[in-house]
Amino acid sequence: MSEFEGWYWQDKAETGSTNDDAKLLAHNPPAEKFVATAVCQNAGRGRRGRNWIGMDGNLFMSLGIKEELKNLGQLVFVVSLSLADVISTLGADVKIKWPNDVLARGGKISGILMENAENGYIIIGIGVNIKAAPQLSTLLYRSTSLKENGIEIERLDFLRLYLKKFDENRNLWHKDGFEDIRRRWLQRAKGLGEEIRVMTEKGEESGVFAGVDNNGLLLLQKGDIVQKIYAGDVFYKEDK
């Protein structure tokens, strides 16, 4: 059962990965859409094989929804825009770093990992630094938390706000298409129109961040040429 409208909700005291929990639910779906959360997560995963460090009081959630594979590039933007919308409403100055990191005062406040599951389900794993953020020299980007930005909220209250906003943005996307989602995402995009560096699996690319295309690919202006970047880590002038 669930207290979140339209969502089946499973919450554990401790788990390895909420994404793995959600994948198990997808074997025999308890509802059309479901969400797995945990008070403590000790084996979370991030993008490109990285670990997601879980800390007490933070939110670890994995949504299970059905979506066509061809739409996943756009879905990432619905997910990250919804996070930015909620955090902004709570009072933080929010930017989004392509493809899906939400920043507050330049620090990473959340991470997203999407994976395929059985029966046509997509699992959307989201970690939100509610109470604390890891401060390790080995992290690729500086991290921060809602609490460090003056926002006091409990994990399930944030979950409730997020599911409502995600449903709203997803419904608008299905109804009206990607253009409004992309426009609103770009309004929050960090570094738009500025020089950036992108570390890809093939090496480093530099140019002006010119936007994103209909599939969510980064558009990198290099003189008269616009290069499309499928995946990578973005760095700005102020980054070392």
pLDDT in tens, 129-155: 999 987 654 456 688 999 999 999 999
If DSSP codes are grouped into helix, strand and coil, which group holds residue 168? helix
Confidence category of residue 5, pLDDT binned at 50, 70, 90: confident
pLDDT in tens, 47-97: 444 454 556 789 999 999 999 999 999 999 999 999 999 999 999 999 999
61-89 per-residue burial string, b: 16 or more CB within 10 A, e: under 16: bbbbbebeeeeebbbbbbbbbbbbbbbee
**What is the CATH code of the structural domain delimited by 8-188?**
3.30.930.10
* Cα distance between residue 185 and residue 215, in whole Å: 13
Q: Which range has the top average pLDDT, 4-8, 85-89, 132-136, 234-238?
A: 85-89
Domain range list for the chain: 8-188, 195-235
Side-chain-side CA neighbours of residue 194 (13 Å)? 13
Residue whose tokens read 């770093």: 97
**What is the CATH code of the structural domain delimited by 195-235?**
2.30.30.100
Contacts of 206 (CB under 8 A, 6+ apart): 195, 196, 197, 198, 220, 222
Residue 198 has pLDDT above 70, yes or no: yes
Q: In percent, how much of the chain has pLDDT > 90?
A: 79
